[in-house]
Every structure is written in structure tokens, then in C-alpha cells.
């Protein structure tokens, strides 16, 4: 990702994207009049929890290598699998407590993932 053009908003921030497409919008906390600009964020969100995001997702490859690397570093992770989409996911926390979601597509159901199965979770739909 690279910085892409951003409208001239009345508060600081950056847009990151691929090509000219904005994918991620970033803005600092403790901005004057923040309640006017960040209407979806509670006061002190950036200080009182992991910020104003739930997680950040990335496309990844070679899940076995990722798991081996995380195990070597003793980094805890939470694996999940969605058989219908052949989607395997790893959830880890970065040093600031933000959840990082790693998405591995086209993973065979015989993969030794030892995690949660989306098909066995309670549905709210």
C-alpha cells in the first residue's frame, strides 16, 4: 500500500491504498473538535482499548509456515476455518492490542488447523 490522495478535510489524516483506490483511512486521536469529525468513535477510544477499529485483515499465503513462525516466536493465535469457502484464518494481536486477521484462501479441509469451525458456531442469521 502507498499513500493516496485524500480530500482536504479539516483534520489531519492519511489514506492508504493500492493504485488510486483508498483502502485504509487513518487519523490521529486527540484532535481538536474530534467529536465533530469522528462521529463513530467514543471519546478516548484510541487510549481506552485497541482504538476505533475492531481488526485489520490481510490476505496471506502458506498457513503452515505462518503457524510455525508464530509458534517459534511464542505468539498466541486463534485459528478458524470456514469449509464452505475453503477459508482458513489466523487471528493475532499486535503489540498495541489490535487484532490482526490473516486470511488464507483455498485451504483444503484436511489441513491440520486445530481451531474453531465457523460451521459449528451459533448463528444469528
Burial (CB count within 10 angstroms: exposed 0-12, middle 13-18, buried 19+), residue 90: buried
Answer for the pair 55, 100: CB distance below 8 angstroms, yes or no: yes
Give the range of the structural domain holding residue 85, as residue numbers without chain letter: 54-125
13 with 71, same domain: the answer is no
Q: What does the pLDDT look like over 40-51, one tens digit per residue?
A: 566 777 777 655
23 in the same domain as 64: no
Distance CA(2)–CA(15), nearest Å, equals 8
Q: In terms of pTM, does the model score above 0.75?
A: no
Output 49 or 115, whichever has higher pLDDT.
115
Do residue 43 and residue 61 come from a single domain? no
- The Cβ of residue 29 has, within 10 Å, a number of other Cβ atoms equal to 14
| Strand segments (E) across the chain | 2-4, 14-18, 21-26, 55-59, 78-82, 87-93, 99-104, 116-117
93 and 71, same structural domain? Answer: yes
Domains in the chain: how many in total? Answer: 2
| Claim to verify: residue 9 and residue 58 sit in the same structural domain | no
41 & 60 share domain: no
Amino acid at each position: 500500500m502507498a499513500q493516496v490522495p485524500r480530500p482536504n478535510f479539516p483534520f489531519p489524516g492519511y489514506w492508504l491504498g493500492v493504485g488510486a483506490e483508498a483502502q485504509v483511512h487513518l487519523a490521529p486521536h486527540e484532535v481538536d473538535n474530534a467529536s465533530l469529525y469522528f462521529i463513530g468513535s467514543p471519546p478516548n477510544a484510541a487510549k481506552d482499548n485497541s482504538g476505533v477499529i475492531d481488526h485489520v485483515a490481510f490476505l496471506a499465503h502458506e498457513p503452515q509456515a505462518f503457524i510455525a513462525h508464530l509458534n517459534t516466536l511464542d505468539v498466541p493465535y486463534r485459528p478458524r476455518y470456514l469449509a464452505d469457502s475453503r477459508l482458513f484464518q489466523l487471528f493475532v494481536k499486535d503489540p498495541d492490542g489490535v487484532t490482526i486477521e490473516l486470511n488464507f484462501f483455498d485451504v483444503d479441509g484436511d489441513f491440520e488447523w486445530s481451531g474453531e469451525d465457523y460451521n459449528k458456531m451459533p448463528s444469528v442469521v
